[in-house]
Amino acid sequence: MLNGTLSSIVDRHNAAAAARRKNSTDPKDADTYEEMMRRLSALTDKRVAEKTKKEHEAFVQLTKEKAAAGDVEAGGQIGRLMVEGALMKRDTKHGLELMSIAAEKGNTFIGRYLATFLMEGQYNVPVDFPKAHYWNMKFAEKGVGDLAYEACMDFVLGRGVGRDLKEAVRLCKVSFDNESYDGAEMLGDLLNGDMPGVPADYALAEAGYRRAMENHWKKNAPDKLTKLLLHSKDGGPDYAKLLPIYQQMADKGDRMAQASLGYLYMNGNGTPVDMAKAIQWLSTAAGGGSERATFDLGTLWITGNNLPKDPAKGLSLYRAAAVKGWPPALYAMGIRTLNGQDVPKDPAEGTRLLELAAGKGDPNAPCALGQIYLQKDPVAARKWFGMGAERGNEVCVQALKNL
């Protein structure tokens, strides 16, 4: 059975491949030449499509002539056209044979197509993972980055070969060294310390994620890198490296990064304390809908952490976060309402807010509720203390012992 981390990688890889095959409208991904021309016509002027068709016909004729003269690459191209059924009768078996000859001679272009056809079943080619793995490995060893990545994934997924994460790491390094963004991100996933059975290499994982971030399609790479930098370094997070990454993400509108940048400036992590920038970025994140940033900004104004206190502004932010269902805000407003702290005292409303907070997972609310019910309903008190104890709240654990 796959472990959770490996299973998530498998699921992500398979889903991406299936979505690309199913949803692609790119002419080059069409199953037949006729479909390719139909898609091309939809994207361009009909005259352009007709011109392209004539160019393709001339290309096919020239390629046939080269193949007849013994040009191996041309033979592979003819094989590809046979498999695709492009301007010639489809002959999958013969086409694959011609492609295989060219690939065995080391033609990377044909080898890449051949491996893809066999992995993904394009143009009705029967899926054959062992054969696809053979071609992936052949070109991986030649330093072809994208096929080294596919070979790596073969060993991660057990696709046409037994699972072997050590070999997967080796091939991902080859892919990384040969400019594959997919291989770079996968290298980070394998070496970030979360993969059972694979020794962590934080420096190489960081390099992998940084390389992947150069490709704007790698949307998850920044989050993966920040997680790595938060948890991998002995003695604590590497805030100095986190700061520019959060800045880059925040400038692109990432609310989590905006809030995190605010915390770094607020606490002086990786940078001198700068409350103006802390307020700026927390306010930006709050304005974008971050409940946590809204609540934490409220806490700043209530406590006056390096700022003049402004309880009214802080409570307004607490209420806003509570309305959005942020558990710590519900807890804070519940306690204040229960005790009449800066707000009208209302025990019933305070209890309701605490129950909402507990229902959303807040670890402190169950203890407060246990205290409320301790005298009037010991059974209910035990329930609430038990909930808090399960969430690791030591006050609740002790309260249960004392019941």
As to burial, measured by CB atoms within 10 angstroms (0-12 exposed, 13-18 middle, 19+ buried), residue 276 is exposed
Distance between alpha carbon 135 and the CA centroid of its chain, in Å?
28
CA distances from 379 to 334, 348, 372, 398 (A): 22, 19, 12, 16
Q: What is the mean pLDDT of residues 88-113?
A: 92
Burial call 326-338: b when 16+ CB within 10 Å, e when fewer: bbbbbbbbbbbbb
Rounded CA-CA distance 280/301 in Å is 13
**pLDDT per residue as tens digits for the range 343-377:** 999 999 999 999 999 999 999 999 999 999 988 89
CATH H-level superfamily of 239-324 = Tetratricopeptide repeat domain (1.25.40.10)
Q: What is the mean pLDDT of the chain?
A: 87
Confidence class for position 234, pLDDT limits 50, 70, 90: low
pLDDT band at 219 (very low <50, low <70, confident <90, very high): confident
pLDDT at 164: 96
> Whole-structure pTM over 0.75, yes or no?
no
pLDDT, tens digit, 9 for 90 and up, residues 122-133: 898 999 999 999
Is pLDDT above 70 for 2? Answer: no
CB 190 within 8 A of CB 223: no
> pLDDT digits over 9-55, tens only?
666 666 666 665 566 666 656 666 666 666 666 665 666 556 666 76
Nearest to 86 by CA among 112, 118, 52: 52
Q: How far from 263 is each of 30, 266, 270, CA to CA, in Å?
A: 49, 5, 11
Q: Which of these ranges, 15-19, 273-277, 381-385, has the smallest mean pLDDT? A: 15-19
pLDDT band per the 50, 70, 90 thresholds, residue 1: very low
The DSSP symbol for 127 reads P
Domain extent listing, the chain = 31-125, 128-237, 239-324, 334-403
CATH of 128-237 among 1.10.10.520, 1.25.40.10, 3.10.330.10, 1.10.3210.10: 1.25.40.10
Residue 54 tokens, joined: 């004539």
Nearest-angstrom CA–CA distance, 226 and 209: 10
* Amino acid letter, 399: A
Helical segments of 324-363, H only: 327-339, 347-359
Taking alpha carbons only, the member of 302, 299, 306, 340 closest to residue 321 is: 299
